[in-house]
Amino acid sequence: MIRKRAIVTGTVQGVGFRWAAREQAQAIGVTGWARNRADGSVEVEVEGEPAAVDRMLAWLREGPPGSEVAGLDVTDTAPDGDDGFRIRQTA
């Protein structure tokens, strides 16, 4: 299991990005969370098998219809055993 933190920039708030990310994560089979940040970006943590995490990161680079992803900054973080994918409060 691996875990990645991604900061997604662009037009990613007010377009259903977090909700679509949760649906996509559930379909792929990864866990973690997503939340809006005060600077207009969305922060996402994704945990799972490496191939599944890579698929989720690829989806984050595109985003749902209505979004315009300008950038994706990804860093490694320690797995913490999430049991689902949640929407968190704004950071």
Q: Given 36, 37, 61, 86, which residue is catalytic? A: 36
Domains of the chain: 1-78 (3.30.70.100)
Tell the burial category of 45 from Cβ atoms under 10 Å away from its Cβ (0-12, 13-18, 19+): buried
Single out the catalytic residue among 3, 18, 22, 55. Answer: 18
The predicted-structure confidence for 21-61, as pLDDT tens digits, reads as follows 999 999 999 999 999 999 999 999 999 999 999 999 999 99
- Which burial class, exposed, middle or buried, applies to 57 when counting CB atoms under 10 A from its CB (0-12, 13-18, 19+)? middle
Task: Decide if 18 is catalytic.
Answer: yes
pLDDT at 11: 96
